Structure 1
């Protein structure tokens, strides 16, 4: 893990000019966080791995256009991970709908997950997916990844004020959909805190 923002800024500058070793160092610095983020949004660890691989591919492919927020590409990477996870989820839902139409002899679930956990997870994912890309990314960056609304705004190309308003409205929609005790609707999360 890099010790300072200056280290990542220098690495990213070298990576942008095609230095594969510098890009590998950026990958090493952020892969675990990107994977944890994807794992929260995907149906399985395998899907999360695919999403993270896609996000880093996009980071490399679009490296000249990636915005750096406070010396790091992590916010952009997490937004891209969110978007790819949403796309993956849509494809998975279409696939499952097709499979569900087929006759089967018995229902099987993931033995490691209880029915209540699976239902709660599916409900939460559906509620977050219903928010729209920017609002979902804004909520996930602040609620799960610990970014301030101002930092998330920079990653999403929003003004800080617009990000706070969108975040407030997204939380309100989640509360309506999940109830006041939903996992991402906790009112103790900072609405407008700045670091």
Structure 2
């Protein structure tokens, strides 16, 4: 399916889908689920088989699966709140902290892999400026590199690492 088709699908069905979901979980969550439904549909559009049914059924199937995931998460939070005697806001905040830590650990693993692939001079230059807070000029002197070379290298390294972050 092309992007134009997804725009038409969204225009034709998002309102009804949102109405259904809002009746189940409220308007705020419904908005998120509708967005996630169409993002998922775009990612897995190859799985749509017109012979198995209409595109509407396919979209509602995706939405239903996402809704089930939301309900599972909410039940898990309610049980945790009950078990530990905390309110839902605190339970959600704790879940957010855990998810953020997992994301950070994943990011650090990717970053460590990228750093390991750098030459010793490039790694030292990057870490001296990023961790030690040295200026590019001082870092270059510390590793015996021409400061002009260090500036261009550091720029290239930062671009490379930014690219690796986006690709991940």
Q: Same fold (TM over 0.5)?
A: no
TM-score normalized with structure 2 length: 0.45
Which structure ranks higher in relative contact order (CA pairs < 8 Å, sequence separation ≥ 6)? 1
Q: TM-score, normalised by structure 1?
A: 0.39
**Larger Cα-atom Rg:** 2
Judging by fraction of residues, say which structure has more helix.
Answer: 2
